[in-house]
């Protein structure tokens, strides 16, 4: 009788241990799976990204040929991505030296740009909401109002303080993204992206 009850308690303890291990395995599987998907979708890089200097574009995003990560990103964020006949967006979250862009710092964007009918430049926060300039000036710049260098390249100042020449006014504090969008451009087709030139982003100074 005594032997039977001790066997029973050993069995019960084993089952308890077993079920704890099963719960642990399940928690790791579900938690790890969900967390890894969230992490990948939140990062700016990923499968299908094309990087030129500090700028990153997803030429296939929002098309039926897109990879599963791009599809999930579109569905989760409610994005209506630009079509190939419309244009292509490049996003930068770091400057050319690899340091995170901040809206309290001032930057200079200089260099030549790929061919397009026109382009626009604006700053957003990390949630992709366009930054306000905090003044009456629009927090956006486009190619029809920009002054060019003699060699047709551009030089744009980005910051909270007014600058001579081209100035993109930004406001607020914290991490920011710069978005450079080309409209009606041959680079939106997949072959057009090879060997294009994008401008550098150089940090000028930071106001603490």
Partner 1 sequence: MRRLFHALAIGLLGAGIAHIVILLLVPSFSERDAWSRLAMVAGPNKVVRLDKEIGGTPVVKALDPSFYEAACRFDLNEGVVRIDNAGKVPYWSASVYDRSGQNIYSFNDRTATDGNLDFVVLTPAQMIDLRKELPTEFEKSIFVETPIDEGIVVVRVFVPDDSWKPTVSRFLDGINCDIQ
Q: Which stretch binds partner 1 (CB under 8 A): 4-12, 31-39, 151-159, 200-208?
A: 31-39
The nearest distance, CB 49 to partner 1, in angstroms, is: 15
Per-residue DSSP letter, 186: G
Check residue 120 for interaction with partner 1 (CB under 8 A): yes
Q: Judged by CB, which is closer to partner 1: 74, or 202?
A: 74
Give helix 2-42 / helix 68-77 axis angle, nearest 10°. Answer: 80
Q: How far apart are CA 56 and CA 181, in angstroms?
A: 11
Q: How far from 166 is each of 14, 42, 157, 158, CA to CA, in Å?
A: 73, 32, 6, 9
Q: Judged by CB, which is closer to partner 1: 71, or 203?
A: 71
Q: Which stretch binds partner 1 (CB under 8 A): 1-9, 98-106, 118-126, 153-161?
A: 118-126
Per-residue binder mask for partner 1 (CB under 8 A), 73-92, x = binder = -xxxxxxxxxxxxxx-----
Check residue 208 for interaction with partner 1 (CB under 8 A): no
| DSSP β-ladder status, 140-142 and 118-124 | antiparallel
Binding-site size for partner 1 (CB under 8 A) equals 57
Q: How far apart are CA 131 and CA 49, in angstroms?
A: 24
Residue 202 · residue 107 · CB < 8 Å: yes
Q: What are phi and psi of 102, to 5 degrees?
A: -130, 140
Q: What is the contact surface with partner 1 in residues (CB under 8 A)?
A: 17, 21-22, 24-34, 36-37, 62-64, 66, 68-69, 71-72, 74-87, 117-118, 120, 122, 124, 127-130, 138-140, 142, 144-145, 179, 181, 183-184
């Amino acid at each position: 009788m005594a032997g039977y009850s001790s066997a029973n308690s050993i069995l019960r303890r084993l089952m308890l241990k077993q079920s704890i291990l099963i719960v642990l395995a399940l928690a790791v599987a579900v938690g790890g799976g969900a967390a890894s998907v969230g992490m990948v979708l939140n990062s700016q890089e990923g499968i299908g990204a094309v990087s030129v200097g500090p700028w990153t574009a997803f030429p296939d995003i929002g098309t039926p040929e897109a990879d599963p990560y791009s599809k999930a990103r579109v569905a989760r964020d409610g994005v209506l991505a630009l079509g190939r006949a419309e244009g292509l967006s490049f996003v930068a979250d770091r400057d050319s030296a690899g340091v995170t862009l901040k809206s309290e710092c001032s930057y200079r964007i200089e260099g030549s740009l790929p061919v397009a009918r026109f382009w626009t430049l604006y700053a957003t926060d990390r949630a992709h909401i366009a930054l306000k300039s905090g003044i009456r000036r629009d927090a956006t710049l486009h190619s029809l109002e920009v002054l060019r260098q003699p060699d047709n390249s551009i030089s744009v100042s980005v910051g909270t303080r007014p600058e001579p020449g081209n100035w993109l006014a930004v406001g607020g504090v914290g991490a920011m993204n710069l978005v450079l969008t080309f409209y009606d451009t041959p680079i939106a087709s997949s072959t057009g992206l090879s060997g294009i030139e994008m401008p550098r982003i150089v940090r000028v100074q930071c106001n603490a």
